[in-house]
A and B are shown apart, each in its own frame.
Chain A
Amino acid sequence: MTDRDQTFAKVAELIEPFNKKGVALTDSTTFAGDLEWDSLVVMDFVASVEDEFDILITMNMQAEIETVGQLVDAVAKLKAEG
């Protein structure tokens, strides 16, 4: 497993409690469209990702993240910076 695969797997695990429709997750899965998350679910989920990886994903960054793949890449980048 590459680092990216591991990050993807961890992110997928964190998505599960909020994945009410059991959507299959790929890099191109969108949070608003495919997972149908509203802003409140996003808040809970982002907080759990931040705490898992010990990073901060500002709301400014969140505005640019629409898919699972983009989130995985952002987490990898923030971990490297931290």
Chain B
Amino acid sequence: MTEALQNAMDPADEAQPVAAPGRDLFAKFDPLIAEREALLSTGVRDPFGLVMEKVLSPTRAIIRGKETILLGTYNYMGMTFDPDVIAAGKKALDDYGSGTTGSRVLNGTYQGHRECEEALKEFYGTDHAMVFSTGYQANLGLMSTIAGKEDYIILDADSHASIYDGCFLGDAQIVRFRHNNVDDLARRLARLPAEAGKLVVLEGVYSMLGDIAPLKAMVEVAKRHGAMVVVDEAHGMGFFGAHGRGVFEEAEVEDQVEFVVGTFSKSVGTVGGFVVSNHPKFEVLRLVCRPYVFTASLPPSVVATAATSIRKLMHAEEKRAHLWKNSRRLHLGLRELGFTLATPEAQSAIIAVLLADQETTVRMWQALLEAGLYVNMARPPATPTGTFLLRCSLCASHTDEEVGQIIEMFAGAGRATGVIG
């Protein structure tokens, strides 16, 4: 400690240090705070401040005392209340405790983490599986670790925030191509040095608009230019392809995709992320991937519920078929009512209703909520330029009767707000 500092800290010193006037680092958020206050002052409820007071099932919750149908949860396969899944979680809590309090590479790998990785390897038919604490961290870890300063990551402009953040965490050169545009991807790959390492990052389903990627054509272009390929199947796992692996399975490019990233927080029904691969050196990632090493592993109950759910999803043909039926029926119903939808037909379990502006979108969102239906509201910059939307995600547990009610609620709210005639 320097003499000056000693003096400054001496309680006997009468000259107390004076705090210099500083800049409030929160000033940069003033425009957003003002915009929110203006919106909420019109009397609408806060679309980003909703609380589920009770959750009754994968498709129903109590919100402000009212029983509400959930149509914005990503709980595609309705696994959150599956009796086998719940029982596995309870048993793991009893047998292994509430948490691991440690990293996967130190004290945080329990038998359950290994069993969960075994379930993933079986589900995907791969040699390797690595479980992360969230899907966000799986993307953060993969992108930032495998592509170095001399390498290129080529990603779709509409990629999820976790993919962008993974790129920013690493040192690679980042190149974007226009969303789902095969020619745009091909042009950019052709401009890269032939000898450079390249990683093309694609998503099976893009979650804002619910559109799927033309993976067959894109993977072919990537391979023609010597790139490795990763496909994020967060919104495709469970109900695309013969085994429910995702859009890449349905597109028949399984043998050309080096890495598949996924999450437990959608079809699997809990929380966590993973990467599966057949790359012979894949296991080294456990030692060098910072978002894997420097965080606590998932609680035993979570990996137990995930493993049980994944194994059940291998044989969920009926649920898959019902989910697709629900999605197609809702898409048709909303289209017939006159709503503008983001895709010409139901391409996934996400149906995005496009609206003119923020005010209309919030009014419509609130009218639906008051009728007893919860959907997600999304706005730029999470959505493509100038797009305000209500995002609906269907669940295999929505009954035929519920889908009918949902369409009626949209009809009522749409007419009340003037969105449809």
Enumerate chain A interface residues (CB-CB to B < 8 A): 38-41, 43-44, 46-47, 50-51, 54-56, 58-60, 82
Contact = CB atoms under 8 A, between A and B. Distances in A.
A55 B191 contact: yes
A50 B173 CA distance: 15
Contacts of A56: 175, 188, 191-192
B184 A38 contact: no
- Main SS of the interface on chain B? mixed
- Main SS of the interface on chain A? helix
A24 to B, nearest CB: 24
Counting chain B residues whose Cβ lies within 8 A of the other chain, the interface size class is 10 to 19
8 contacts: A40-B385, A41-B385, A43-B157, A47-B177, A54-B191, A56-B191, A58-B173, A60-B174
B174 A59 contact: yes
B136 to A, nearest CB: 19
A40 B381 contact: yes
Contacts of B384: 40
A47 B385 CA distance: 15
Contact of A51 (B157, B175, B187, B192): B187
B404 interface: no
B191 A59 contact: no
B17 to A, nearest CB: 37
Interface in B175-202: 175-178, 184, 187-188, 191-192
B167 interface: yes
Given A54-B191, A58-B173, A60-B174, 20 more contacts: A38-B380, A38-B381, A38-B385, A39-B381, A40-B380, A40-B381, A40-B385, A43-B176, A46-B176, A47-B157, A47-B177, A47-B178, A50-B188, A51-B187, A56-B188, A56-B192, A58-B152, A58-B175, A59-B174, A59-B175
A60 B385 contact: no
A82 B385 CA distance: 31
B381 A60 contact: no
Contacts of B175: 56, 58-59
A39 B187 CA distance: 22
Nearest to A47: B178
B174 A58 contact: yes
A24 B167 CA distance: 35
Nearest to A61: B173
Contacts of B174: 58-60
